[in-house]
Structure 1
Amino acid sequence: MEYDKKCRDFVMTIPSGNKTLEEKWKNIKQILKSKSEEVLGTQEKETQKLWITEKIVELINQRRKYIYKPSGYHSETVRLDTKLTRSFLCFTFIFIWHGLTWEVFLWTVFNFIGITLETLARFFGKSSYYSRYIKCNLSESNERRFLAFITCPLTMLSAISNFFFFGGLDAGISYFEAIFVLNTWMQNIIIIIIFYSMCQISMEFNHYQKTKKKQKFNQYF
């Protein structure tokens, strides 16, 4: 209650003027941060991942700086074929960096396929066809169900790739055969339903968080 009251009182002291939505949201974030520190105090965040050392962080930052960002993969101005080419080069570098082994190769192949499919899906999602036939004919909840359905195979690819990367070639092949080869059609349907449910729950939770943030924003403005 004290935190809520402090935030409300502070927000009311800010003149609205002709501020844009982005400026208003920036003010709210500053208010929440400052008042949270005032009421709750500050505490240094302790990482629970003991394997993340300073050397690992340095290597990650170097890859992000010299490979990922220069590739411009997430830039809106980059063409689709250029994005896919740069993605291929990034995964090729990862394959060479981690060692020229079969498990790393399969991990990079599965992830590259997943990234490629996701990129194509995002490209399709911005097309006029998607807006005309999908968004107009499906409600928001059904659209999320549709997206969860087409995301399900990507999640399965990601899971299998991690079996190869962390468990090795034999473990990856064993999991792949157990899931996709040796199962009956009923077992495969159950697995697909499980992965679909995971994607659906994740999307619904993300939608819930965005809705709550929007409600809090509208509450102050």
Structure 2
Amino acid sequence: MATLLHLDSSALPQGSSSREVTAVFRKAWEDQHPDGTVIYRDLAADPLPHITADGVQALFAAPEERTAEQAAAFALRTELAEELERADAVLIGAPMYNFSIPSSLKAWLDQVIIMGRTAGVEQPSAAGTPTTVVASRGGSYAPGTPREDSEFVTTYLEKVLGDMLGLDVDFIVPELTLAHSVPAMAALVDKSDASRAQAHEDAATKGKALAARLAA
């Protein structure tokens, strides 16, 4: 049976738009694969350490020459790389924080990107893995909007997930998620609701379709 690697990074344990949508995708996936495997990491509740000198230098040291700290750092990076390589599909919740991704997700990326293995080679070790990113945001950064040039979530993740790791990246983008809680956005509530409904529909459809494709 297929394996799904599911990462959430929203700091909110409840009321998170990205968590809502990844949950819809995952349910659709699990309905198709009741006996399948889900590798789940809540990067906000159980954050990974940021990359350190030990984690970097361990890659350039022979195993027998690594310090205890380097060996531990290398073991973590290897564990994360193996989870990515084992996955038949990847699901990532990536809300926009201050125009970019949460630092918890950036920590995962810095640990899992291993030059010569998962990146930096002609055929990265997880190349081609279908990856769905739920890139929620409180406002709108769509083409033609005033803040279009401040959208650094999908543009960054296209580069790092697609170009570096070689993953096959697709986005679901719930927008205007703050419309119900920010008085100045009250006029945008209907558009927010429509975006939320579309994101849920897309997640259910894509989760089911991807699971069926991999099972074929």
Q: Give the strand-richer structure, 1 or 2.
A: 2
Q: What TM-score, normalized by structure 2, do the two folds share?
A: 0.23
Q: Give the helix-richer structure, 1 or 2.
A: 1
The answer to which structure, 1 or 2, has the higher relative contact order (CA under 8 A, 6+ apart) is: 2
